[in-house]
Amino acid sequence: MSRIGESDIARRIKVVEWSKAELLEAVSRLFRSTIQGRDDDVLESLGSVLLAAYLLAPHLGINYPRLDLQLEASTRRLIESGHQVEEWYSDLSNLLRYLEGRGREF
């Protein structure tokens, strides 16, 4: 294998590991921000969690549409299983409607 190929493999591994650490850090910030109760920090942390997941996906061989489809499938599965949050608040149904109607007003 050429020196360039080895370097590219090492860089790819480094990007995956770095992205996983970013995701973990974003989750940690989310936990701290919910304890502190500041809405702006919670929103920023949630956005960082989503961003980190979307940035990690392609480096694991998953494109954005496939990730979106998985999110919809997971949401449907939880609805069908009678998830408690769905029974209490209809959160999963609301999320599914949003996901199915992206680009349209929610």
Domain that holds residue 69: 63-106
Do 71 and 96 have their domain in common?
yes
Does 20 share its domain with 52?
yes
DSSP assignment string, 8-51: HHHHHHHHHHHHHHHHHHHHHHHHHHHHHT-HHHHHHHHHHHHH
- One domain, residues 54 and 67: no
The answer to whether residues 106 and 77 belong to one domain is: yes
| Same structural domain, 43 and 69 | no
Rounded Cα distance between 75 and 89, Å, is 14
Contact 82, 73 (CB under 8 A): no
Per-residue pLDDT of the chain (106 residues; tens, 9 = 90+): 556 677 889 999 999 999 999 999 999 999 999 999 999 999 999 999 999 999 999 999 999 999 999 999 999 999 999 999 999 999 999 999 999 998 555 4
> The whole model's pTM is what?
0.84
Does 52 lie in the same domain as 70?
Answer: no
Together in a domain, 47 and 83: no
Q: Which of 75, 63, 64 lies closest to 100, judged by CA?
A: 75
